[in-house]
Amino acid sequence: MGKLRKSVTAAVVAGLFFGGAGSAAATSWHEMNLATAGASFKGRWAWQSKEVVPSGLHVKGVLKDEKPNDGHNVYLRLRVYSYPWGEIRGVQRRAVTVDKVLSDGAVLVTKEVRMHLCRDRGSLRPDNCTPLRLFKRK
């Protein structure tokens, strides 16, 4: 009886492992290239399945300050429905690797996220940003 229980447990664990690997591999990545005066983001995005932890919108790429001597920072700005804007900040005069899963409660239940890239030009001048892009869950 002990050997049967061990083999059944091993089969269940293997099924869970390979089932999880299959759902993670099923994530469909899409290329994303955003650019505005002084800023760029080259990367990709995917909606992760709700079975994957953390679940949500996964964004990977390089956020770059294209005008290193202007004294301005760059950022990605994201919004879900009418919730407040969220930001992924860059670093002045550098390229930053981004690998972030947006996984708050609003992202888990929505099918849409809006995002754009901006250069922070301070309080006296408006930021220059790319047009908003819409990312939809299928």
Report d(CA 81, CA 98) in Å as an integer: 23
Q: Residue 22: inside a domain, yes or no?
A: no
Q: Residue 10: inside a domain, yes or no?
A: no
Q: Residue 4: inside a domain, yes or no?
A: no
Residue 121: CB partners within 8 Å, gap ≥ 6?
72, 127, 128
Q: Is the predicted pLDDT of residue 76 greater than 90, yes or no? A: yes
Domain of residue 54, CATH code: 2.60.40
Report d(CA 11, CA 53) in Å as an integer: 22
pTM, entire model: 0.72
Q: Residue 38: inside a domain, yes or no?
A: yes
Q: Indicate the pairing of strand 56-65 with strand 39-48.
A: antiparallel
Q: Residue 8: inside a domain, yes or no?
A: no
Please count the structural domains in the chain: 1
Parent domain of 78: 29-136
User: Please, what is the Cα angle at 116 between 115 and 119, to 5 degrees?
Assistant: 145
Q: Residue 113: inside a domain, yes or no?
A: yes
Q: Residue 118: inside a domain, yes or no?
A: yes
What are residue 35's phi and psi, to 5 degrees? -150, 140
Which residues sit opposite 36 in a β-bridge? 39
Average pLDDT over residues 73-84: 86
For residues 92 and 65, the answer to whether their CB atoms sit within 8 Å is yes
DSSP 8-class letter at 83: S
Report d(CA 83, CA 73) in Å as an integer: 24
Q: Return the number of other C-beta atoms located less than 10 Å from residue 116's C-beta.
A: 19
Q: Is the predicted pLDDT of residue 98 greater than 90, yes or no? A: yes
Q: Residue 2: inside a domain, yes or no?
A: no
Range among 14-23, 26-35, 37-46, 124-133 rated most confident? 37-46
